[in-house]
Amino acid sequence: MTTQRHSFVPTTSPEASRTINPTQLRSKLPKVGTTIFSVMSALASEKNAVNLGQGFPDFDCDPTLVELVAGAMKSGFNQYPPMPGVPALRQAIAGKIEHLYGHRYDPATEITVTAGATQGLLTAIMCTVHPGDEVIVIEPAYDSYVPAIELAGGTPVLVQMELDANGYSVPWHKIAAAVNARTRMILVNTPHNPTGTVLTATDIQALADIVRGTDILILADEVYEHMIYDGARHESICRHPELAARAFIVSSFGKTYHVTGWKIGYVAAPAALSAEFRKVHQYSVFTVNTAVQHGIANYMQNPAPYLELPAFYQRKRDLFRAGLENSRFKLLPADGTYFICVDYSAISSLSEADFAIWLTSEIGVAAIPVSAFYQSPRESGIVRFCFAKQDQTLQQALQRLATI
C-alpha cells in the first residue's frame, strides 16, 4: 500500500493574509501601563542609586532553606504535586495558624498553596466577584487590587484612609457608608502597604459590625503578618470567628522567608469558599513548584525564623528612623511591614512622583511616591522607603539623604 503524503499549502486569500493590528485589540485593562515600581527601579539602576523603592530584600535567605529545597529536588520531588498543595505543607500552614491565631483550618479542604500572594488575591476575587458586584478597596492600596477586580468584571469602590499627626487610619464610617446591596467584598490589608499601619482590635470590631447580617465577603491581605513591632500583635482576620467564616486570608512565604522571587504563598478560607477558590486555581496555575513546597514544609518545623522576624526588622526600622531623626523629613509611624513613609513638605513643593525622580537622580536614593497607590491623583507630599536591606545599604542611603 502506498501512503499518500499531503503537504499543507497556505492560502493566499486576502482574509488569511490580514495581520492583526494591536491597536484594534480591546484591552481588558486599558488604564494599566508600566508600574511605578518598574520605572523607579530602572531609574535607580541608571543613576546608580540606592534602591529603597521596590519592596524586596537585598540579602539572602537562610542557606538551610535553600539546602532543603535542593534536597527535595535531589530526592525526586520534581513532578506535579496535588493541585491544592503538598499535604505536609498545608498541614504545617494549618498548624502555624492555629498556634499563632487560635483558628483551626482543615489542611485538606481549607488551605491552598498559591504561586505567590498576588495570585492568591486574584483567584479569590475571580472566584467570587461577578459583573455588577462592588468591592470596597481602602486607599492607598497595593497596585494589584483594582486590576484584579476589573478583570473579574467587578467595580472597585475606593475609600481613602485619613491622615493626621498620628499617621494613617481607616475611616470605618466611610466604609459603612459605601456598603450597599451590590457590595460583594471588602478588601483589607494589615499590616498595610504602603503606610505601615496595623489594624487594631478596635478596627476589626468596626469591620465586623459593618458586615454583620450581610453576605459580604472579606479578602484579607496579610502578607506582612510577621512584621509587627513594639510588642503589638497581629490581628489576623482569622482570630475572629465571625469574620473568619466569610474570609479569604492571604499570606506569603516570599515575604516571610526573604525569597520574594520564589513566588509562593497560601490562602486559608472556609471549605465552601476554598472549593470555589480551587476551581479557578486549578485552571489558572493548577499547582505550585513541588520541591519548594517540600523544602518549606520541612523548614516550617522550626518556628524560630518567623517568630524572630519582628525583632529582626524592628532593628532595621529603628536604625533607619534614627538616621532620619535630625533630617527635614517628617517620619510617619511605621508599626508594621518593612516600609516607612516620610513627609518631605519641608524640603520641596514638587509632586510626589517628581520628588521621587529628583531624589533618585540627584541624591542617589530611590523611593516610591505614595500617590502611585491611588487610582486618582492624590498628593500628600509623602514617599515610601523600604528598609528590608542590609545595614550597609541603609547606612549608604542615610549618608546620601543627610545631604538634603
> Is the distance from CB of 388 to CB of 371 less than 8 angstroms?
no
> Is the distance from CB of 382 to CB of 341 less than 8 angstroms?
yes
Can you give the pTM of this predicted structure? 0.93
Dihedral-angle region of residue 351 (phi above 0 means left; psi in -120 to 50 means alpha; beta otherwise): beta
Intrachain domains 36-55+307-401 and 63-302 with the same fold: no
> Is the distance from CB of 216 to CB of 246 less than 8 angstroms?
yes
Angle, CA of 33, 138 and 283, to the nearest 5°: 60
The amino acid at residue 168 is: Y
Task: Report residue 208 as a C-alpha cell.
Answer: 465586623
- Asked if the bond preceding 333 is cis, omega within 30° of 0, the reply is no
**Helical residues (DSSP H) of 130-189, grouped into ranges:** 145-151, 172-178
**How far is it between the farthest Cα atoms of the chain?**
92
Q: Give the pLDDT score at 22.
A: 64
Consecutive H or E run containing 122: helix 117-126
Domain ranges of the chain: 36-55+307-401, 63-302
**What is the mean pLDDT, run by run of 10 residues, along the chain of 404 residues?**
46 56 81 84 94 94 98 98 98 98 98 98 98 98 97 98 95 98 98 98 98 98 98 98 98 98 98 98 97 98 98 98 96 98 98 97 97 94 98 98 96
- Spell out the long-range contacts of 306-309 with Cβ–Cβ below 8 A and sequence spacing 24 or more: 306/96, 306/226, 306/256, 306/257, 307/226, 309/226, 309/227, 309/256
**Distance between CA atoms of residues 7 and 5, nearest Å:** 7
The closest alpha carbon to 39, from 337, 352, 353, belongs to 353
**Distance between CA atoms of residues 25 and 219, nearest Å:** 32
Q: Are strands 111-114 and 162-164 parallel, antiparallel or unpaired?
A: unpaired
Task: Report residue 96 as a C-alpha cell.
Answer: 502555624
Per CATH, which fold does 63-302 belong to? Aspartate Aminotransferase; domain 2 (3.40.640)
What CATH number has the domain spanning 36-55+307-401? 3.90.1150.10
The amino acid at residue 80 is: Y
Task: Report residue 357 as a C-alpha cell.
Answer: 525622580
The closest alpha carbon to 175, from 143, 205, 197, belongs to 205
**Distance between CA atoms of residues 62 and 364, nearest Å:** 30
